[in-house]
Amino acid sequence: MTSHEASSTPTVSITEAPPNVTVLQQTPQLIALYTIIRDIKTQRADFVFYSNRIIRILVEEGLNHLPVQATSVSTPTDLTYKGLKFEGKICGVSIMRAGESMEQGLRDCCRSVRIGKILIQRDEETAEAKLFYEKLPEDIKDRYVLLLDPMLATGGSAIMAVDVLIAKGVPVERILFLNLISSPEGIDAFAKKFPKLKVITGFIDEGLNEQKFVVPGLGDFGDRYYCI
């Protein structure tokens, strides 16, 4: 391989992951979308548009991991089609504020889906998570839960959010965690803590820096999505 060929090879996700972690297929389209949202020069409107495209892909993949059951329907040609339907009710739970960016992608795929919210903030000095607020559907223990947060750094916020769901009676195997970018450290901590919980991530990055931010990352997702 020449130096020119090596330099032109796109960066793809780390693919080695625990068995309960699914990394999106690293297609040229997906890598192109990530290239846009990682670029510091990308303006907010484009960041939102292309992030939403990735979120939609993540939600569609997450739905593939929900249980289904056989069903049959009659078609307009008076024939029977043997198909599938989802088993059980679902809801989304966003980890505020950045996780709220993923709510519309879930609504686009699941009409009238119920959405809960959990506010967990990270202490910038200790990097530890602290719970401030939660509002969840009363019947959440009877639903499959899609937990939404675009970035997984140390895993502290996501782990605390799952602990909140478990305390509300949600079986851990009924929770799916969807996120755009993860660190290897966060993935390992999360998967070891909850080996029966499925994680769907778009990209596992190189790691964390001294400030515990994902690198190369894309900066503060919430700021770029809502503010900049």
Residues acting as catalytic residues: 122, 126, 220, 223
Token code pair at residue 104: 């519309």
- 104, 52 in Cβ contact below 8 A? yes
- Report phi then psi at 19, rounded to 5: -60, -20
- In one-letter notation, the amino acid at residue 32 is A
CA distance 97 to 112: 21
- Considering only CA atoms, give the Rg of the chain: 19
Contact 48, 42 (CB under 8 A): no
Backbone angles phi, psi at 134, to 5 degrees: -150, 140
For residues 186 and 184, what is the distance between their CA atoms, to the nearest angstrom?
Answer: 6
Residue in this structure with the two tokens 């605390």, named with its chain if needed: 160
Angle between helices 156-167 and 184-193 (to 10 degrees): 20
Question: How far is Cα 201 from Cα 61, in angstroms, rounded to an integer?
Answer: 10
Helix (H, G, I), strand (E, B) or coil at 39: coil
